[in-house]
Chains A and B, each alone.
Chain A
Amino acid sequence: MKKNKIILTILAIIGLTVSCNEDSLELTNPNELSPDTFLQNQTQVQSAVNAVYSNLQTRGLYSRHMFFMMDNMAHENGGNPQLEADKRQYLDFSFDASHGAIGAYWESCYRGINKANFVVENSDKINAILPSVMSDDLKQKAIGEAKFLRALFYFLIVTRYGDAPLITTLPPDDGVGLPKNTSSEIYAQIIKDLQEAIPVLLAKGDEENGRATKGAAQALLGKVYLFLKQYDEALVQFNALSGYELEDNYFDNFMEETEHGVESIFEIEYDDDFGTSAQWNSDRSGQGPNEATFRGQEYGFNDWFNVFPSDDLLNEYEPNDIRFEQTFYINGDTFGPGGSLVVDHFPSNGGGNAGWSKYCNYYKDANEDQTSGINFKYLRYADVLLMMAECESMRTGGSQDVAIGYINQVRERAGLDDLATGMSKDQVFDALVHERKVELAGEQSRFNDIIRWGIATTELAGTNFQAGKHELLPIPQGEIDSNINISSADQNSGY
């Protein structure tokens, strides 16, 4: 009997030491917050909105590939031998659906969209926050910022990929992909989001630098209408802009110290003082400190010098255009601290006769150190003036002279003579093609322009550009492989 008791006692010990602790299996992640308890106050709502912005900084977008993709496809660049294959493919139009950065561009945008959806779809939750905790105006502004960014990301998608999934809800629990929508459905959503954002966003002077403003939403909406050739609607938006004017000095648009000036409407923000440790691994998520862009390092003639401004671009400038020396460096120019160094780098190994000055730090530094804090001007007033000129020229009943007036505002700053009034619509168009090419050189604008104008075949003569194919990028192979609702049959034409 006594022995039995011992056995029973021991059995009990075995059972007790373990089974009573089953609670220990119920763990919560101590490193991360739970979505259920989030969006309870102003800081949390603002944080959810901030996350959307950070996707603009990914390597798939403005930190690395956006400028290569757009400037190379437009052949504003030529390539030096050290230009890596995946970036050279933009020059050669030899990329296919498995191109990593084309996938990163796609996902960078859609992750931004999903983050925006997290804010917009939780509007009810945000609106339920007590006004004493967060004012109703700020709630609406936060949701408006999310809508602006969602529109911007969809605009980046629709211009590069055409038809694509239009998702405005939280992702399905089962993670099953959604089919493509037409580009007109996407444009409709962009317009709707921007229209809803405009009344709730703050004016530039009232908002923190870096955030979407009312003016940014108006200018973007105008640009979207222009892309849709809805010139009158576009002009309504452009005309509603107030408080913007051209910088006296063109180069003030491209220096770190003069960011957010009078000409600036919306910028992609970088500030290398805020950390760069995630710079090499933030392809698509925007996670981690990646507050610098590789733009200067990649283009800089005294750094990696992967690309140089093409002769075609250099030759476009009129002789007295002061934008030339503010956009490029040629032999004999000075650079670096106090202009202490002399440029003698040309011709480059790849045959480049000049180097980029725009968006480079050589106005103050000898080297880029891989980390540039210079913001990209996604929208600036000179662009708006040229878009207004285009709308005015193109719209039914538009005045060519008024259009020329807008162009001349831009030319005057460049130290050029005014264009004479009395030009034909075609002549104004040619003037616009020229003016946008030089004013917005290296600003990721020209490729979109020549595509939407339908002149890419002639403008890109001598390259591998194929009409009917290269207007769009391929839908990334990863999307086709993982999305049961998108198959190879849905691939863009020619890929």
Chain B
Amino acid sequence: MIKLKIVCIALLSLLGQNAFSQTSTITGMVSDAKGAPLPGATIIVSGSTNGTTTDFDGNYSLSNISPSDQLVFSYIGMTTQIVSVGNQTTINVNLQEDAEALDEVVVVGYGTQSRAEVTGAISTVGADELSALPVASADQALQGRAAGVTVLNSGSPGTAPVVRIRGLGTMNNNDPLYVIDGVIAGGLGDLNPNDIESINILKDASTTAIYGSLGSNGVVMVTTKKGRRSGKTTINVDAYTGIQFANQRFDVLNTEQYLAFANDAFGVVPTSPLSASRNDTDFQDALFRTGIMQKVDLGISGGGENSDFRFSAGYMDQEGAIIETGFERFSFRANSNFTVGKFNFGETMSVSFNKQNPERNLGARSLLEHAIKIPPYLPINNPDNLGGFQGPSSGLDGQDAENPIRVQTLGEHINKSAAIIGSLFGELEILKDLKFKSQVGLEYRNSNTNIFRPSYNDDSEGATHSSTFAAITKNSTLRKSITVTNSLNYATTFNDLHNLEVLILAEKQETIDEILNSNSQNPITNELNQVSNEQSFLQSQSFEYNRIGYLGRVNYNFDQKYIFAASLRRDASSRFGSNNRWGTFPSIAVGWNIAQESFLKDSAFNTLKLRGSWGITGNDRIGDYQYSATLLSDFFYPIGGSLATGTTPGGLANPDLKWEETTMKNIGLDFELFNGKLTGAVEYFNNSSDDLLMSRPLPGSLGINSGSVTENVGSVDTKGFEFNLGYNDYEGDFTWSANLNVGTSSNEVKSLGANESLSGGTFEAQDISRIEVGEPLFFFFGYETDGIYQTTAEVDAVLNQTPNDEGEFAVNPGDIRFVDQNIDGQINADDRVKIGNPYPDVTYGLNLDAKYKQLDINLFISGVAGVDVYNTNIYDLEGMPRLFNAGTNVLNRWTGPGTSNSVPRAGGSDQNFNSISDRFVEDGSYTRLKNITLGYTLDNTSFDQYFSKCRIYLSGQNLITLSDYSGLDPEIGNPLTNDGGNRQYELGIDRGNYPQPKSIILGVQLSF
């Protein structure tokens, strides 16, 4: 009543004023933050009933306005804005999305949920954050954006990153599940990041157990942009152009230093004429370049009363920071939805064409390794040599490093793919609150690898690296995957207090990969890049993978105060033996919205929610047909002048094979204060994975060809904290926000079945990484070092060596001192200890946004801490096993007592370079200015006949990295495969990996 009175008085007083003021008509347009018109927005003269709504194009007109009036612009989901009229006659307003309202709906598996009702652990990353970085794949942009998500990027354009949600839970496949618009997908490589509305990362059992046998590693839920119903059709054009470069280098010897080093250290005087040339080539500079990047995206979206649509097309082209690397993509997407009475229909459909030029690594050696090792006096090119390059000749140069420029540029290596990913759904409201939905998802991808390496000869004097034939490889994979999902959903509210939602669902997925691999040689010509019959190898394979599952889920809450959720999924997979084909995956979660309780009714808390969940998830990703024993027929031996084919059993059968199970526990507390200005969450998780599918190495003496058998024997516990804190000052001309997220994860192996240990990640014929009970997965295992033996007395004090007949010892002064852990006077395998942990203890990100009128700025910092990197580059830079070019540190090598305690003598004992030791382990912690953006939105009035919005921005990525790591980049991305073994073991091993480049881009965003 009191309020009403005040309003009346105010009205009266305003009316009175109006009688004496000059009034006018105000016109203008209301649009959203991106400049899209907002039809139906409300404009009211403050304190009056005078008001209107915008038309279909977002335009409005209000008469009888006096200069002293204030106009209130409002729209659902947007922050209300109040503008003083003054002497303006045109008032255009951009409404900002309400931070509180944005979080309202969260995409979860098989549906959406109001944020208030969420009981699980979900991180949401929005479109702006995903498109802030010039990356090819949206998951590359996730690093530092969501607590508990760790992303390891490679610098190689188009190479998928390694994504880990809540750390490592298995020695097997740790990749998360990707779901795009409800359809299970292989990854995000085919998706234009600019087509993504949001990514929700599901982290705990209450959100992932509904994906049953696929949920153990977390789920990345991608929602693509849709049109807006009853909205004006808008056209968005986003474009940028920029450069990327890597200016980090290893300090290596120049020609003068190298020749002196060769002679001093190894007594080698190169005799090739080139060694006398005094030429000085910087092979690293030749390997790196400044690459040009560009991207143009076009989006058209809109909708009618009962339909919406969005079409988009994108083109991106990136030259990598290493020569002859790059990525190019054309992408097209169409999303639309229709409502006809009680029916809803919709589709998403995307087509993309990708082309990648990767870095070429021959013989497991990286380009950087070659660039370090090759003699600097050699020129890159030599027109007299077949192929046009120059390399060393072992006989004359005393070493045999390869010319990295020839490796990377001679011939070509192209990976191409064409993918169609889409879905179609129909939904019928059978009864009030009861909906039946059927969805068909489709993935069709054709991937091709084409490698052509012409004949070459890197030195006419007797090349160490040459080939008399051209080598041609063409591999092709065709993937078809169809997922059919049928569901019934019942959602109702009774007595205005009880909210109930029940989902019953059945799903079937059928995937088939058809592979054709071929290669051949051509000794006659370099002109034909085609596979022929000469020295040819052909192989076709097909892999089928089928899965069916049933899901039941109940969500109930009492007045959004007390929340209960439970789900049960049953899954069966063709990957498992008949004895264990079905698995059951339950989950239960509860939540309490404390802020809804009367005792907090008038407090600063808008939200205070305590929630907890428990459940079981699975992981079936171990490859197809593992349970069956089969024969292999690709053994060959020349017999009687022709090639005889051999056949033998491939491995042991295991009909008991079943999925891995992870029991997940999660407790979280969400809070929001001061009308959404301060938000945050604290989370604790504890996962224990059992029945881990482990490839148990079989004793070599059993002679089984596979070398291993897959069994459900391992257990790993993973636990950690996550923490989010955000501050959002959204009022006034100057708005700013800061968001910090921190995630920790630690894992411990609990059981390996009958195995004592497993190892992998081979370097120079020895394994770096190890798995052992009581230790974290893939920890580095080797010798602890303690400087360098300075004198014979020091050696004798530690080692009990037997001299050979000449009185020589294996280890001498100047050699690395390995710690004799068991003090038996011998250095052997028993002295090896844990020397590092490759998974970061902490991953964090800090995002700062500020906006003043037309100016906006973004700073994004991400980093990891408590992580070790095994830097094999040190082997090349300081190992000095034999003559190669090396780092300048070798000039400070040990040459006598007291000369060095870190760089050993040249050509010394094997253990100086050949044994895995902590000499190569470095702290890989880093803090990186991942992104900095400065944007300016042009004043509407000067452009509004052309654009509704025009923003230009300048941004830089990875410009500053703080780290003690001595290699080129502490973020060790996708591993260089060297042995076809378990790539998981490659975690944190820097083999001269492609460093992440720095980039600078200039972009423009236009709306029409």
Contact = CB atoms under 8 A, between A and B. Distances in A.
Interface centre among A31, A92, A99 (most CB of B within 10 A): A31
Nearest to B461: A302
Contacts of B907: 81
Interface in B529-573: 535-537, 541-544, 546-548, 550, 572-573
A218 B392 CA distance: 48
A78 B910 CA distance: 17
Given A18-B508, A24-B510, A175-B696, A111 B638 contact: no
Interface stretch (B72-80, B643-651, B727-735): B643-651
B535 A276 contact: yes
A25 B546 contact: yes
Interface stretch (B6-14, B154-162, B395-403): B395-403
A463 B806 CA distance: 7
B19 interface: no
A275 B539 CA distance: 13
A304 B804 contact: no
Contacts of A35: 629-631, 649
Given A173-B652, A303-B394, A478-B697, A281 B910 contact: no
B91 interface: no
A50 B645 contact: yes
Given A50-B644, A114-B703, A484-B754, A11 B488 contact: yes
Given A18-B508, A85-B914, A477-B829, A209 B640 contact: yes
Interface string B671-712: 000000000000000000000000011111111110101000
Contacts of B628: 28-29, 34
A367 to B, nearest CB: 6
B276 interface: no
Given A29-B625, A48-B647, A115-B648, A270 B638 contact: yes
Interface stretch (A243-251, A283-291, A432-440): A283-291
Interface stretch (B130-138, B758-766, B928-936): B758-766
Contacts of A370: 467
B704 A13 contact: no
A100 B578 CA distance: 38
A285 B704 CA distance: 9
Nearest to A170: B649
Contact of B398 (A18, A53, A99, A349): A349
Given A6-B430, A175-B652, A277-B519, A86 B765 contact: yes
A27 B576 CA distance: 10
Contacts of B546: 24-25, 27
B429 to A, nearest CB: 11
A86 B881 CA distance: 11
Given A301-B395, A367-B462, A106 B537 contact: no
Contacts of A89: 910, 914
A167 B910 CA distance: 35
B16 interface: no
B347 interface: no
B802 A466 contact: yes
Contacts of A291: 636-638, 643
A14 B702 contact: no
B463 interface: yes
A462 B805 CA distance: 5
Contacts of A11: 488
Interface in A18-50: 18-19, 21-22, 24-35, 38, 44, 46-50
A151 to B, nearest CB: 15
Contacts, number: 350
Given A10-B436, A26-B574, A289-B636, A18 B507 contact: yes
B464 interface: yes
A465 interface: yes
B572 A274 contact: no
B398 A81 contact: yes
A424 interface: no
Contacts of B700: 103, 106-107, 110, 284, 476, 478-479, 482
Contacts of A6: 430
A101 interface: yes
A305 B394 contact: yes
B528 interface: no
Interface in A433-484: 457, 461-466, 476-479, 481-484
B974 to A, nearest CB: 20
Contacts of A175: 652, 696, 698-699, 702, 704, 709
A112 B635 contact: no
A110 B643 contact: no
A52 interface: yes
B504 interface: yes
Given A10-B488, A38-B647, A211-B639, A32 B699 contact: no
Interface string A52-66: 111011000000000
Contacts of B484: 17-18
B910 A47 contact: no
Interface string A354-383: 000000000000110110000000000000
A24 B574 contact: yes
Contact of A288 (B636, B707, B810): B636
Contacts of A324: none
B757 interface: yes
B527 to A, nearest CB: 20
A28 B829 CA distance: 43
B305 interface: no
A219 B541 CA distance: 43
Given A15-B506, A25-B548, A94-B810, A32 B636 contact: no
Nearest to A94: B910
Contact-residue bracket for chain A:
35 or more
A279 B644 CA distance: 17
B581 A25 contact: yes
Nearest to A290: B636
Contacts of B764: 85-86
B508 A96 contact: no
Interface string A266-309: 00011101111100110011111111000000000111111000
Contacts of B828: 96-97, 495
B786 interface: no
A19 B537 CA distance: 42
Nearest to A487: B756
B399 A98 contact: no
Contact of A47 (B436, B646, B696): B646
B535 to A, nearest CB: 6
Contacts of B59: none
A123 to B, nearest CB: 16
Contacts of A369: 466-469
B285 interface: no
A14 B756 CA distance: 47
Contacts of B543: 31
B504 A269 contact: no
Contact of B537 (A25, A97, A275): A275
Contact of B631 (A34, A86, A486): A34
B641 interface: yes
Given A18-B508, A32-B631, A277-B537, A479 B701 contact: yes
Q: Which 4 A-B pairs have the closest CB atoms?
A: A114-B703, A51-B646, A100-B765, A177-B699
15 contacts: A3-B430, A10-B436, A31-B542, A32-B632, A50-B647, A53-B646, A81-B266, A96-B829, A100-B766, A114-B705, A115-B648, A165-B699, A173-B653, A482-B698, A486-B699
Interface of B: 266, 268, 363, 394-395, 398-400, 430-431, 434, 436, 457, 462-464, 466-469, 484, 486-488, 504-508, 510, 519, 535-537, 541-544, 546-548, 550, 572-574, 578, 581, 624-625, 628-641, 643-650, 652-653, 696-705, 707, 709, 754-757, 759, 762, 764-767, 802, 804-806, 808, 810, 828-830, 881-883, 907, 909-910, 913-914, 979-980
Given A171-B703, A276-B535, 7 more contacts: A14-B506, A89-B910, A97-B828, A100-B765, A269-B638, A274-B638, A481-B756
